[in-house]
Amino acid sequence: MSAQVHPSSVVSPEATLEDGVVIGPFCLIEGDSRIGARTVLRSHVVVGPFTDLGEDNELYAHCTVGMGPQDLKFKGAPTRLRIGNRNVLRESCTLHRGTEHGGGLTTLGDDNFLMTGSHIAHDCHVGSSNIFANCATLAGHVEVGDFCNIGAFSAVHQFCRVGSHAFMGGFTVATMDVLPFMKTAGARDTKSYGVNTIGLRRRGFSDAAIEGLSKAHRLLFHSGLLREEGLERTQAELGGIPEVDYLLAFIRESKRGIHRG
């Protein structure tokens, strides 16, 4: 089935619209962009140049994806934005292309749900099956894993990471890395408040995995051990549990530090 384009919309002849695409009223699709099969742009959506939208996405009114980054060093290079499949972007979401010095690419995986006003800045790499509540915001160069919940009006500082299955409470300001599997909240005195038990059970994690993560959190943050002592003891006592191994690797790889318990 060929693409359907409302007569009020403007589509560059250099853009590619795959089968089943629906372009609603008053949209703008710029050149060197691709809209994947069955993707729907409801109305007033702007797709900038050098943007690749996968299949079965749905973009609501006033979303803007693929425009140049908000970076004063950016001089118009043909950097890119790549969006995967089956994502839902509600009203007024914004996703920007990468920068030359940041790798030249911003990515969003599959099956993400971005609520109204969410923002993903340049050179961010966001995984799959994440939920961004209203006005959740990522600064540049942020990495987000899979199955994360980013609370409403939360902000993640540039170069920070959010580990898979993390839960960030509303209005949280993350200036360091957010631990995987854990609940993290706070406007300024941001802390990890233990395992995201409800979320992990909903995702089918075993009781053994959840208990291992709970023990790891206690050893790392409530045992009085120094950082390296806590990591070594947790590895010795709980190493081999895949979720704990990922947590320990996440902490060791951190460049900005982590929000501790």
Instruction: State the catalytic residue, choosing from 122, 141, 217, 259.
Output: 122
Q: Which CATH class is domain 200-252?
A: mainly alpha
4-141, what's its fold? UDP N-Acetylglucosamine Acyltransferase; domain 1 (2.160.10)
- Radius of gyration over every alpha carbon of the chain, rounded to an integer in angstroms: 20
145 classed as catalytic: no
Instruction: State the catalytic residue, choosing from 24, 54, 68, 140.
Output: 140
Strand partners of residue 28: 10, 46
71 classed as catalytic: no
DSSP E strand stretches across 109-248: 113-114, 119-120, 125-126, 131-132, 137-138, 143-144, 149-150, 155-156, 161-162, 167-168, 173-174, 182-185, 191-195
Tell me how far apart the alpha carbons of residues 150 and 135 are, in angstroms, rounded to a whole number: 10
pTM across the whole model: 0.96
Q: pLDDT digit of tens for each residue in the chain (261 aa)? A: 799 999 999 999 999 999 999 999 999 999 999 999 999 999 999 999 999 999 999 999 999 999 999 999 999 999 999 999 999 999 999 999 999 999 999 999 999 999 999 999 999 999 999 999 999 999 999 999 999 999 999 999 999 999 999 999 999 999 999 999 999 999 889 999 999 999 999 999 999 999 999 999 999 999 999 999 999 999 999 999 999 999 999 999 999 999 998
DSSP-derived secondary structure letter, 217: H
122 classed as catalytic: yes
What residue segments make up the domains of the chain, in order of their start?
4-141, 200-252
φ and ψ of 88, to 5 deg: -115, 120
Element (H, E) at 215: helix 207-221
Instruction: State the catalytic residue, choosing from 52, 123, 146, 177.
Output: 123
